Amino acid sequence: MSRSSTDVRRTEPAVSGKRRDRGRRQKGIAGSTLSFWLFVGPFVLGLLVFSYLPIIWSLVLSFFDAYNTVTPSKFVGLQNYIDMLTDHNFLSSLGTFTIFAIFIVPLTFVMSLALALLVNQVKVAKAFFRSVFFLPTACSYVVASLIWKLSIFNGVRFGLANTVLGWFGIDNIAWLSTLDPPWYWIPIITVRLWLQLGFYMILFIAGLQRINPSLYEAAYVDGAKPGWQVFRYITLPQLRATSVSVLLLNLIAAYQAFDEFYNLLGSAQNFARPPLMYLYSISLGSIQDLGHGSAGALLLAVIIMIVTLLQTRIFGFGKAGD
């Protein structure tokens, strides 16, 4: 028997084995792909049907007159956008958001960071304290607003807030009154703080746990004093990416404020309505002007995008501290 024929017989099993392995890998990839789409497919379909298609259709409606219907009737071009940009009520709603954001964004940032620093230093029952502060996040905004309105800031003598003030000899305050002074900002801001502080606290705790302990040891060796110096030069720079994320999420959430305003003040307060509440009133209220409502919603989305990009540009999103 020649040597070449022997080599051929030896290589045949190796070649067939490689083919079988390749076939198994292809079947495995096909099976993994099928499993992936079986798991992710329903979510992707729901995202397309309930998110992306409405956004596309809203873009279409913004160029048409659409009263009491989602079917466009008369093409008006950019007139809906011009009307919204010159609408006093829409501009006033943006002013309401500005006031709301000026209070809620810094307060949420500072208080959630302070809570994270305190909870992260607790040695006993750390999981308990995390759960206690995080639980309000699971509460509905509607339910929390109604509790604030009916039990805490109801404006009568038996309300919790007025009861506490009565202990110090202070008269009852109509917290949700639309007259001056604007006391309604206190229940609106406090209910939002109570609902979202726990979520941002968890984000800051995750950022604190990523800081290398050797940095603190090196700071102590170099003579840094525990407290403000360590926080200023070690902790805060290392939390830069987390801080920017918290600011972005908090600002976007402020733009989307609706439930607390609607349930605490009602739908008739023209001067104290955020943008979403005003767009809701013209789109689904008595007017049902879906053309102008869609144009306003897209303008609001563009404003959010611009503010987000500017904020990431200024603070440098994703850059680690030096």
State how far the Cα of 317 lies from the Cα of 305, in Å rounded to an integer.
14
Ordered alpha helix ranges (H), the chain: 3-47, 53-61, 79-85, 88-121, 126-134, 141-147, 160-167, 185-209, 213-221, 228-230, 236-238, 240-255, 259-265, 275-284, 290-315
State how far the Cα of 241 lies from the Cα of 126, in Å rounded to an integer.
24
Question: Over the chain, what is the mean pLDDT?
Answer: 80
pLDDT of residue 159: 82
Q: Is the dihedral of CA 118, 105, 241, 316 positive or negative?
A: negative
pLDDT of residue 282: 84
Share of the chain above pLDDT 70, in %: 85
Q: What residue ranges do the domains of the chain occupy?
A: 3-61, 79-315
Apex CA 129: angle with CA 126 and CA 131, to 5°?
Answer: 110
pLDDT of residue 8: 45
Joined together, the tokens standing for residue 19 give 């083919």
pLDDT of residue 270: 53
pLDDT of residue 321: 44
User: Under 8 Å CB-to-CB from 287, ≥6 apart: which residues?
Assistant: 67, 281
181 upstream amide cis, omega within 30 of 0:
yes
Joined together, the tokens standing for residue 153 give 């800031």
| Closest-CA residue to 255 (of 290, 220, 279) | 279
192-238 pLDDT per residue, tens: 999 999 999 999 998 888 888 888 888 788 777 777 888 888 888 88
pLDDT of residue 24: 55
Q: For residue 97, how many C-alpha atoms fall within 13 Å in the half-sphere facing its CB?
A: 23
pLDDT of residue 241: 85
pLDDT of residue 214: 85
Sort 3 into a burial class: Cβ within 10 Å, 0-12 / 13-18 / 19+. exposed
State how far the Cα of 52 lies from the Cα of 118, in Å rounded to an integer.
41
* Domain 79-315 homologous superfamily, CATH: MetI-like (1.10.3720.10)
| Closest-CA residue to 100 (of 184, 175, 182, 185) | 185
pLDDT of residue 322: 40
277-303 pLDDT per residue, tens: 888 888 877 778 888 888 988 988 888
Low-confidence ranges of the chain (pLDDT < 70): 1-31, 178-180, 267-272, 315-322
Enter the pTM of the model: 0.76
